[in-house]
Structures are given as structure tokens and as C-alpha cells.
A and B are shown apart, each in its own frame.
Chain A
Amino acid sequence: MKFSYIAGRLVKTVLITVAVVLLSFFLIRAAPGDAATVMAGQTGFADEAYMKGLRAEYGLDQPLPVQLWRYVSRVAQGDLGTSYVRRQPVADIILERLPNTLLLDAFALLVAAAGGIWLGSVAARRPGSAGDSAVTVLAMLFYAVPQFWLGMMMVLVFAVWFHLLPPFGIETMGADYTGLARLGDVAQHIILPGMTLALFFLASYARLTRTAMIDVADQDFVKTARAKGLTERQVARRHILRNALIPLVTYAGLQASLLVGGSVLVENVFSWPGIGTLAFQAVQSRDNPLLLGIFIVTAILVSLFNLITDIAYSIADPRVELGR
């Protein structure tokens, strides 16, 4: 049973990937002008023969189904095309930057989950108390604050006014630290962008944990645990929190796409050398293949992350419906 659920989810992930690639192909076709006009525009001369040569070189003179087939099979082999501007394979450029983005996102996710669960359980302990209201107000505020602006405010306060933390980059330029010193340097640099990215999710995890814990606290097995004579602390930790965390796993999966969108903006505020700053450069230089490649890669990563959270959920909660 469990196996068929996981198999079904695998198929779904593959289908999503295929849909992403089809959508990308459609977007390329829908954009005004093709690769040949863009490249001709960049080199500065555009006589008919040159354009024709370019179109033949990139297969743009082929019928649509043939182009689609070629595109899909190229992407399937990990070939995301060539950057117009850098003249390098898009996949290589993205792979070089990807670890930095993954580091930032993982840091933010961990901070958000740990902080959110903690704040949420504090709020759930006494619903309606000042601490509880504070969490609600904070969440409300973070829903209304643009993440990129929050990042700039963090820079303003912690770097410009108080000189506490480095505002830009992933490590000190030209310092050439190695080993532990480098790790410490990166850790200092990740605090501001990581916290900026984490705060929004921290607020929503706190709200979700709070609701889930209040829901679970009403259930019979919790009453049983209390009746057995367990202390309030043991009940909260072992019985309520554990069960309340299960929906959080799915939620983390659903929010992964927001996390990626947020990290694009936050990376740009803090000049974090990940694929978010890369996307910005691609927009600036009208490097469409690079931008599209970033979309494909992030979409596949997010759908893989969703696959993992769904499987984790099915393991954590044996009641999970095995239908779809």
C-alpha cells in the first residue's frame, strides 16, 4: 500500500517536471523574437543570410513538433541551452551558483521551523495571552512586509547603524580565509539574509503550530495521557507537539515554492552569489535561456522537495490516505 502511494507520487513528480519543460518551450515560442534575432541584435549586424544560418544552427527552421522533441530530449539530458551573454552552458552556470542558494534556503528553513515551532507552542500553551497575541500580530505584520524591503531594513539597522554584521556577499572579499575561519566568516554573512528569509516563514509556522497544537489538545488521547497522570510538560511535548508537527511537514513542502521566490529577492538585496542574483543578472542582460533554465531547475528542485515531504508525511502519519 505504502509502496503504491510512493510510486504514485514519483509519477506525479515526473509529470510535473514534464509540464515544466513543456511550459518552458511554450514560453520560448511566445516570447517576441527568437534566439536568432536576439543574437543578431547583440552582434550588431543582421542580414538575411546570417539570420538564416543562425536559425539553421539552432534548429529554428524546423517544424514545431521537431523543435519540441529536440528541446525535450536536450533538457532530459541536462542541456538547458547556452547563455546568450556568457556563451556558456546554462546548466554549468546554474550548478556553480546552486550550492549557495541551497545553503541560504536550508538555513532559513531550519531557523523558521525551529523558531516557529517554539513560538507556536509557547502561544498555544495559553491561548489568548499576551504572548499568544504577540505571535498573531507579528504574523500579520510579516504577511504585509515586502521581503526585499525587510532585508534592506535589516542592513540599515544591523550593518549601517550598528556595524554588527556584514551586509553583503557570502564571505569577506579578498580575505581568503580557509577551514574554520572561512566557515565562521560565511556564518557571519548568512545571518542577515538568512533571517530576512526566515522571518516570514517563522511567523506562518508559528501560527500553524499554534492552531495544530490547540486542535490536538482537544483530542481523546491527550485526555487519556493526562488521566494516566503524566505531567503537563510531558503531555505537551510527547503527545501534543509530536502530532501537531505532522501537518507542518506538508506545509513546509507547499511553502517551498515561496521560499525559492523569496530567496531570489533576498539574494539580490544582500548580493548573495546564488541563483537569485543570477536571475536578476539574466533579466538585466535579457538572457532568456539563463532565466528559463533557472525556472526549470528551481521548479524541479521544489517538486522533488515536495516528493520528500509527502513521503515523510506518509511515514510519520500512518493514517494518510493512500488514494492519491
Chain B
Amino acid sequence: MSFARRFFASPPAIFGFAVFLAIVAIALAAPLLFARGPLSIVDMPLLPPGSPGLLAGSDVIGRDMAVGLAYGARISLLVGIASTCCAVGIGVLLGAIAGYYGGWLDDLLMRVTEFFQIIPSFVLLMVLVAFLQPSLGSAVIGIALITWPQVARVVRGQFLSLRSREFVEAARIIGMGDARIIFTQILPNALPPIVVVSSMMVGNAILTESALSFLGLGDPNLMSWGSMIGGSRVAMWVAWWTTVLPGLCIVITVLALNFIGDGLNDALNPRRRG
């Protein structure tokens, strides 16, 4: 069975994929769907969902919640995907070098990844973002810096087990250089677990980004789901929708991504089911 057919054989994976596509579509179409930006004030504050012209109600200062939610999807997806790409880039490079060459390089990398496993990485992230000044870029860099060791460990493990296989020996005998062996021979064979780990990381990065924005460490000029929740704390007692709706958006997005990750895991490792 082909990979795609195995992936779409699982209902949660189909659901996750469909929801993810819908969220991407909303994120991309946000400027077309709404005439005004997410920061403009359109009506009285704290109008409930379903008020005339306000599908999702209005927030503490009278901004349209629906616009905020649509634009928030852009931030979540952007930060989630960009930080994961950076983390995968660093993790693959360092993990490949460590696993392929072994020796002290490997020891050093393993110590570094252990260090990142042990220290409270969210507190480190707060420090990083606060020191770099809160912005979209610092969130991406910060999240990538605390998550790359996960990728590096997986890649290193794969390279360690693949480097002494016959096809690698063969490549070496015909005179391929190390870099070519690493990127054209071993890496393609090491991809499945890397893909699974990365798909799980996007969801986690979205959760982390929302936590940063909730604490006021997001970009102050952008509307994100986390900052919507953080900004609505004062209104929680009188206007549930201001906190409930952005939170549901986060849950649905992350759940969809985790379903995709599970589906990829099953489709790429048919033997490791159950």
C-alpha cells in the first residue's frame, strides 16, 4: 500500500488533515474575508457572539473577535511552522554530524541535548524572548533554540544505526565524500522518524507561542490567540467568549496537528502499530 493510502486509511488522520487545511485556508484568506484589520475597533466592547455583524462577538475594547481569530491563525501557523523548520534544520545538521562521526563530537552533542532536557526550557525561552525584545522573530528563534535537541537526538540515533550498513559502505567504496554520503545516502533513509517528530513539534510550538503571547511576550503589534486570551483575563467574569473562543482555536489546531502526526507515524512505520 502506498504511503498516502496508509495515511488516509485512518479517520483521525483524515480529520486532522481536513481541519488543518481549513485553518490554513482561513489564515491565508483573512485579509480577503475581512475589510478591516484585527486591531481596529468596530463596535461596543464585550458584545456577545451573534450580535449584528459580529459572528464571534467583540473583545474588551470593541475589536471584532472573528477578525482576531482569523488573523491569530496566521501567527500560530507561522510561528509553529517557522520555528519547527529552524529546529529541524539545526537538529538534522548537528544530529547527522554527531551520529555519522561519533567520538567526542557525539559525546558533546549528547551532553548538550541532555542539558536542554533537564533545564526548564520554558523559563529559558522567557529569558531569551525578553532579552531579544518580544517579536515574531524572537519567538521563532527562541522556540527553535529550545526544541532542536529533540530532533538532533532522533537524527543522531538514525545515523548511528545506518552508518555501518552495507549501502553506506558501498557509497564509501565508490569514493563518495562524507557530505554526499550524509545528505544523499543516509538522510533520505533517516527521514521517516524525522517527519514524525517534526509534525508533533509544530503543535507544541503553537502551544508554546500561545503561552508566550499570553504572558505578554508576543509581538505587541500582532493579534494572536494567546494574546487575545491574555488581554481578556479581566473580562472573563462577564464575557466568556473572549477567552473560550481563542482557546478552542488553539486546541482544535493542535489536536489536528497531533492527529496528523499520529497518522504519519502509523503510515511510515507500518510494523510498529499498536
Q: Could you tell me which A residues sit within 8 Å of B by CB distance?
A: 16, 19-20, 23, 27, 30-32, 140-141, 143-149, 152-153, 155-156, 160, 254, 256-258, 260-262, 264-265, 268-269, 279-280, 282-284, 286, 288, 291-292, 294-295, 298-299, 302-303, 306
Decide yes or no: A283 and B217 within 8 Å by CB, A257-B121, A265-B211 being known contacts.
Answer: yes
Contact status A141-B255, CB under 8 Å: yes
- In the bound complex, residues from chain B placing their C-beta under 8 Å from that of A152 are 229, 233, 236, 243, 247
Asked if A146 contacts B236 (CB within 8 A), the reply is no
CB distance from B202 to the nearest CB of A (A): 12
Residues of B within 8 A of A148 (CB): 210-211, 214, 229
- Interface positions of B from 223 to 247, Cβ below 8 Å from A: 226, 229, 233, 236-237, 240, 243-244, 247
Q: Which residues of A have CB within 8 Å of B258?
A: 140, 143-144
Within 8 A of A (CB), among B115-130: 115, 117-124, 126-128, 130
Question: What's the minimum C-beta distance from B130 to chain A, rounded to whole angstroms?
Answer: 5
Cβ-closest 9 pairs across A and B: A261-B122, A149-B247, A260-B120, A31-B131, A144-B254, A144-B255, A299-B119, A257-B120, A298-B120
In angstroms, Cα B134 to Cα A284, docked, is 11
Given contacts A27-B131, A156-B240, A295-B127, whether A146 and B210 have CB atoms under 8 Å apart is: yes
Q: How many angstroms from the CA of A27 to the CA of B127 in the assembled complex?
A: 8
- Please tell me if the beta carbons of A146 and B247 are within 8 angstroms of each other in the complex: yes
Question: Within 8 Å CB of B244, what residues of A?
Answer: 153, 156
A-B contact pairs, 28 of them (CB 8 A): A16-B119, A19-B115, A27-B128, A30-B131, A32-B131, A140-B255, A141-B251, A143-B203, A144-B254, A145-B250, A146-B247, A146-B250, A146-B251, A147-B211, A149-B251, A152-B236, A155-B236, A156-B236, A160-B237, A254-B118, A258-B120, A264-B123, A264-B215, A265-B215, A291-B127, A295-B123, A295-B126, A303-B119
Chain B contacts to A: CB under 8 angstroms: 115, 117-124, 126-128, 130-133, 203, 207, 210-211, 214-217, 226, 229, 233, 236-237, 240, 243-244, 247, 250-251, 254-255, 258
Q: Write the chain A residue with the least CB distance to B246.
A: A149
Q: Which residues of B contact A156 (CB under 8 A)?
A: 236, 240, 243-244
A258–B118 Cα distance when bound, in Å, is 9
Known: A140-B258, A153-B244. A280 touches B120 (CB 8 A): no
A312 CB to closest chain B CB (Å) equals 16
- Beyond A16-B119, A152-B236, A288-B131, list 16 extra A-B contacts (CB 8 Å): A16-B115, A16-B118, A27-B131, A140-B258, A144-B207, A144-B251, A148-B211, A148-B229, A152-B233, A156-B243, A257-B119, A257-B121, A282-B130, A283-B130, A294-B123, A299-B124
| A23 CA to B236 CA, complexed, in Å | 39
What's the Cα separation between A303 and B131 when bound, in Å?
24
Specify which chain A residues have a CB less than 8 angstroms from the CB of B217 in the assembled complex: 283
Closest to B122 in A: A261
Q: Which chain A residue shows the least CB distance to B229?
A: A149
Nearest Cβ on chain B to A144's Cβ, whole angstroms: 4
Determine the chain B residues whose CB is within 8 A of the CB of A23 once the complex forms.
124
Please give me the residue from chain A that is nearest to B131 by CB atom. Answer: A31
Residues in A neighbouring B207, C-beta threshold 8 A: 144, 146
Give complex CA distance A16, B254 in Å. 32
**Residue numbers in B under 8 Å from A283 (CB-CB):** 126, 130, 215-217
Task: State A145–B133 Cα separation when bound (angstroms).
Answer: 27
Expressed in whole angstroms, the Cα–Cα distance for A306 and B116 within the complex equals: 13
Complex CA distance for A279 and B126, rounded to whole angstroms: 9
B121: chain A residues within 8 A (beta carbon): 257, 261
Please determine whether A292 and B119 come into contact, CB atoms closer than 8 angstroms.
Answer: no
Structural contact, B119 and A302, CB atoms closer than 8 A:
yes
